[in-house]
């Protein structure tokens, strides 16, 4: 619905780690500017650590994205976008953070 957040928690028990991550994600929630076609308003390239993510609007074409970028965009409610991870980084957390950074800079 145009909102997404991300968090990471560490604990001795899995359920406690999930609770910590959920609290952190709720604190870091951002609002994503969506167009009428559930796309992003303009293209953007963002670098976070060693991860580089490129996104551009694709009205009527569906989502073309992979990995953690696709997950973040799905949860944000974006349906029509082309996204590409331009770096060779396999770090899913940094790729997701780069996607969130890109979505926050669209506003």
* Helix (H) and strand (E) counts in the chain: 3, 6
pLDDT in tens, 62-93: 999 999 999 999 999 999 999 999 999 999 99
Indicate the pLDDT class of residue 1, thresholds 50, 70 and 90.
confident
Neighbours of 30 (CB within 10 A): 16
Q: What is the pTM for the complete model shown?
A: 0.91
DSSP string, 85-100: E-S----HHHHHHHHH
Query: Is 2:34 a contact under the CB 8 Å cutoff?
Result: yes
pLDDT in tens, 50-63: 999 999 999 999 99
């Amino acid at each position: 619905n145009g909102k997404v957040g991300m968090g990471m928690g560490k604990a001795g028990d899995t359920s406690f780690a999930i609770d910590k991550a959920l609290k952190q994600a709720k604190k870091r929630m951002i609002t994503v500017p969506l167009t009428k076609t559930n796309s992003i308003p303009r293209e953007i390239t963002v670098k976070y650590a060693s991860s580089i993510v490129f996104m551009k609007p694709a009205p009527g074409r569906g989502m073309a994205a992979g990995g953690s970028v696709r997950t973040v965009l799905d949860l944000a409610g974006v349906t029509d976008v082309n996204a590409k991870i331009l770096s060779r980084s396999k770090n899913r957390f940094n790729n997701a953070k780069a996607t969130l950074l890109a979505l926050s800079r669209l506003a």
